[in-house]
Structure 1
Amino acid sequence: MRSGRGNDTGLNAVERQAAYSLSALFFLRMLGLFMILPVFAIYAEELPDVTPLLVGLAIGIYGLTQALLQIPFGMLSDRIGRKPVLIAGLLIFAVGSAVAASAETIYGIILGRALQGSGAIAAVIMALAADLSREQRRLRIMAILGISIGIAFAASMVMGPILNSLIGVPGIFWLTAVLALGGIVIVAHVVPAPAESHVHRDAEAVPGQFGKVLREPELLRLDFGIMTLHMSLTAMFLAYPLALQALVEENAHTWVYLPVMLLSMAAMIPFVILAESRRRMRPVFIGGVAALVGASMLMFGYHDSLAGMVLGLLIFFTAFNLLEATLPSLVAKIAPGERKGTAMGVYSSSQFIGAFLGGALGGWFHTRYGIDGTFLLCAAMAAIWLLVAWGMSEPDYLSNYLIPVGLLDEDQAFLLEGELKNLDGVAEAVVIPEDRVAYLKVDLKRVDQEVLDGYAVQG
């Protein structure tokens, strides 16, 4: 049909600034949410009128408010701008942290954690990243954001016990409030201002697409998976710190978490390469879920043994890191390009619902059946997931590829769509004139990206 200007490789200055400043926001916020995980169950034993169920609610309640508000916050930012919503969300997060830090009862901490989750800015960050990036470079920026989340989670597992020994859990909450205020400074002075903000179907949820996304069995299977993964994580941390406390002095817990996190992150890399580069996603994925079952059973059977607990945690986090990396990759492979943002929105909400359910259900099991019952619950949830995941088929190894195509009428869009579909390595192509974007699913091992970029029209 026509050939536009090709695109330079790599990120430009604005994209780099956006990627790293928004990654810093994610990093600070994830630290604030997760640093209490390895220490809160121990701290909460000293609070008045505490029960394991209330401890579980305190840990997981942020997931409920986050799940309810993250998509509406993203949509609100389409109307009034990204930065005002980001700043408001960080202020709410800071207030929630201060409430939790000041609380003298478990109920005050539950309220504070609920407010922390109400500062639901994840979808807004993704939308702003899309505003500040060219279509062909967007996946690279999203990958940088994803890496920052993984690093923040690993860091929080190590930093939580260290900070607890220095400033205590209330001090961690106060530090979280300070980090949120630091995030506001980053938004105001470091994050670039977009020239315009609009809906990006590849990065944001679109209300009219929820029905189609929720009717896709393979996507629902993945939504169930991420929900179960975070149910298991939250429930496990209601029991693991208490079991570890009986084996190791509390101020030495860091020396359990630090090597486990480093080794688990290194151990999962070969499996990710095998799944993605060697295209063995299904067996690697199924193996990861099975490893969760094994790790939970190991902690159930040997929670009075330090070696058993350390080995169980190492297997658990190797599987967790592997599944946390492969699940969004599977969503991206399965969801049509023009519905990827909606699919990821539902997926993220499922993750946060899982954190809430893990806290509530794990707390109930801990109340009724103790530490043993909590570990057994984690094993049972993972076993159910294994049965659900077993029916998955080997995915098509397709990647999303976006091309800006400029202003087209319906006939031109139809012709371009047909032309793109005929290119070698292009499995799907949808051109949406109002978006001025072509949404493609491509096999990166076959497609000629220079040919694709030749269709790009900037401006």
Structure 2
Amino acid sequence: MNKTERMTGLLVSLLYFVRMLGLFSILPIFTLAANDDYAAGSLMIGVTLGIYGLLQAGMQIPFGILSDRLGRKSVLVFGLVLFVLGSWLAAVADSIWGILLGRALQGAGAIAGVLLAVVADEIRPEWRASVMAMIGASIGVAFGLSLILGPLIYDIGGLSAVFYLGMLTGALALGLVLVMPFAAVAQLRVTTEPTHPVRGLSQNAQFQWLNLSIFINHFLLMSSFLVIPRLLVSVEIAVADHSWIYLGVLFGSFMIMLPAIIRWGKSQVIIAKVVPAILIMILGLLLLALGVSAAWVLLGLLVFFVGFNYLEATLPALVSQVAPEAVRGKAMGIYSTSQFLGLFAGGSLGGLWMAHLSLSAVLVANGALALGWVVLLLVLNFREQKIAGAKSRG
């Protein structure tokens, strides 16, 4: 990897880091703050959390097309300006509807696909996997740090301060874009790229169930975080202490997850790398649902995050493994869209469940969904093996 490629990889990773840090910081406190400060109902809270994902999913393709025509830099600047404006609007809002509009505007700045296009433009194929690993690590660190910072900042300055953090990180990301070197977009790439691998993606069973997996993984994350802050309060853990809870849980989950990646990563059967982590998440959800004390809830959180963090680290690598190289960028774009749709569905449906069910019942519903996920993956894998066996005999 040459100097330009290293710099591009570092800057793109930093862009993801600062943007995700501002975005996810509301996750551990919003369900409490929106209810206390705005008397918002559970469904409205869920939709407000999830609307970001819906706009992200819907705007990925338009932003990608615009970046091909207008250049990556101008579209990235526009997307980040939308994110900053959305953060400001949410920070100054005096109602849940204002926050909803701000979250939607944040989501409309859908630059994830454009950043992946920058990687494709600037990084040689043999080094792209390394850069993707850097990006994945930056997102993971940002997510973990946001769970710690969110409650701390909320305790100091309220919900507005958390959105102002998003505004600040968006402005920092904008500054990074302005100093980034950009290659000219190769217009001929659009017309000369082979199209048959794209058709192959729609027929690739492994690719399809990996997209399903990231959708459900983020559904479970969003719907569970409608419950988790309230659950911590219900076992008499003060909001001011939530940061330290998340710090300990995330550190412990990473320490447990790393050996699991080493062990399960050796398997040549892709489904064997995914199903054990889902079963761990189910166990964590059930422990949370049955939690009658702080220790019980903390154990459930730890187990849940072991499974979630493992899948977050593993699924993108599996997508790049099964997708043809010629359309790997498009495959990652589809994968990202599935991820964002999962955030929206988890927030919306989770909010609906919260409006009619108890905290424990929502967690049990999540566990049942995850169990259905396992069954479906096993059925799809069996069907794929059966088809492959028939072809080999034929």
| TM-score (normalizing by structure 2) | 0.91
Question: How far is the alpha carbon of 1:307 from its aligned partner?
Answer: 1.0
Deviations 1:145-179 (A, max 9, x none): 11111111111111111111122211110121121
Write the distance in 2 (CA, Å) between the matches of 1:278 and 1:361.
35
2:392 maps to none
Matched letter for residue 375 of structure 1: L
Structure 1's unaligned 5+ residue stretches are 1-10, 395-459
8 A Cα contact 2:53 2:341, kept in partner: yes
1:177–1:319: structure 2 CA closer, same or farther, 3 Å change rule? same
Q: Which has the bigger relative contact order, CA under 8 A and spacing at least 6?
A: 2
In structure 1, the partner of 2:14 is 24
1:256 aligns with 245
Aligned letter for 2:109?
Answer: G
Question: 1:276 and 2:265 equivalent?
Answer: yes
Contact 1:131 1:194 in 2 (8 A): yes
Answering whether residue 326 of structure 2 is matched by residue 338 of structure 1, we say: yes
Rounded Cα–Cα distance in structure 2 between residues aligned with 1:349 and 1:139: 20
Question: What corresponds to 1:159 in structure 2?
Answer: 149
Distance 1:360 1:274, change over 3 A: same
SS across alignment from 2:26: coil
Q: Which residue of 2 aligns with 1:231?
A: 219
Partner residue in 2 for 1:35: 25
* 1:10-21 equivalent positions in 2, closer than 5 A: 11-21=1-11
2:377 matched to 1:389? yes
TM, length-normalised to structure 1:
0.79
State which drifts further: 108-117 or 137-146. 137-146
Q: 1:305 aligns with which of 293, 314, 334?
A: 293
Matched residues in 1 for 2:4 and 2:334: separation? Answer: 29
Judging changes above 3 Å, is the alpha-carbon distance between structure 1 residues 39 and 75 closer, same or farther for their aligned structure 2 residues?
Answer: same
Match of 2:36 among 46, 53, 57: 46
Structure 2 Cα separation of the partners of residues 290 and 173 of structure 1: 35
- Displacement of 1:75 after TM fit? 2.2
Deviation at 1:208, TM superposition (A): 8.0
- The number of equivalent residue pairs is 379
- Note if 1:69 corresponds to 2:47: no
CA contact (8 A) 1:213 1:219 kept: yes
Cα distance in 2 for partners of 1:215, 1:97 equals 40
Q: Secondary structure at the match of 1:192?
A: coil
- Distance apart, 1:71 and its partner CA: 2.3
Give 2:99's aligned amino acid: I
8 Å CA contact retained: 1:299, 1:309: yes
AA matched with 1:88: F
Is the Cα–Cα contact under 8 Å of residues 235 and 358 in structure 1 kept in the other structure? Answer: yes
Is 1:137 equivalent to 2:127 in the alignment? yes
Q: Give the C-alpha shift of residue 135 in structure 1.
A: 2.2
Q: Is the 8 A contact 2:63 2:114 kept in 1?
A: yes
> How far apart in 1 are the matches of 2:36 and 2:188?
48
Q: Give the AA of the match of 2:328.
A: K
Of 267, 271, 275, 2:256 maps to 267
Code of the residue aligned with 2:64 in structure 1: it is: G
Residue in 1 that maps onto 2:284: 295
What residue is the counterpart of 1:397 in the other structure?
none
Q: How much identity, in percent, do the aligned residues show? A: 37
Task: Flag the 1:150–1:130 CA change in 2: closer, same or farther, 3 A.
Answer: same
Once the two structures are superposed, residues 221-250 of structure 1 have per-residue CA deviations (whole angstroms, 9 ceiling, x without a partner) of 111111110000000010110110122111
Counterpart of 1:382, as a letter, is: A
The letter of the residue matching 1:263 is G
For 1:418-457, what aligned pairs fall within 5 Å after superposition? none
Q: Is 1:360 aligned with 2:348?
A: yes
**Which residue matches 1:413?**
none
Q: Which has the larger radius of gyration?
A: 1
Establish whether residue 181 from structure 1 lines up as the match of residue 181 from structure 2.
no
Are residues 1:149 and 2:129 paired?
no
Give yes or no for the alignment of 1:213 onto 2:201: yes
Q: Which amino acid aligns with 1:116?
A: Q
Residue identity opposite 2:337 in structure 1: S
Q: Answer yes or no: is the 8 Å Cα contact 2:197–2:324 preserved in 1.
A: no
Residue 318 of structure 1 deviates from its aligned partner by 0.7
**Structure 1: distance between partners of 2:243 and 2:80:** 28
Q: Secondary structure at the match of 1:266?
A: helix
More strand by share: 1
SS at match of 1:104: coil
Partner Cα separation in structure 2 for residue 187 and residue 344 of structure 1:
21
Spell out, residue by residue over 1:173-202, the C-alpha distance to the aligned partner (whole angstroms, 9 max, x if none): 01211211111111112x12214445879x
Q: Is the 8 A contact 1:127 1:200 kept in 2?
A: no
1:198/1:19 CA distance change after superposition, 3 Å: farther
Superposition deviation, residue 112 in structure 1: 0.7
Return the match for 2:302 from 314, 331, 337.
Answer: 314
Q: 1:37 to 1:199 in 2, by over 3 A?
A: farther
Describe how 1:60-139 pairs up with structure 2 within 5 A. 60-139=50-129
Task: Note closer, same or farther for the CA distance 1:244–1:135 as it changes in structure 2 (3 Å cut).
Answer: same
The Cα of 1:362 is off from its aligned counterpart by 0.4
Distance 1:97 1:380 in 2: 35
Aligned residue in 2 for 1:347: 335
Distance 1:166 1:49, change over 3 A: closer
Distance in structure 2 (CA, Å) of the matches to 1:318 and 1:187:
34
Post-superposition offset of 1:108: 1.1
Is the CA contact 1:200–1:341 (under 8 Å) kept in the aligned structure 2?
no
Q: Given residue 58 of structure 1, which amino acid in structure 2 is its aligned partner?
A: T
SS of the aligned residue for 2:181 comes to coil
2:117–2:329 CA contact under 8 A, matched in 1:
no
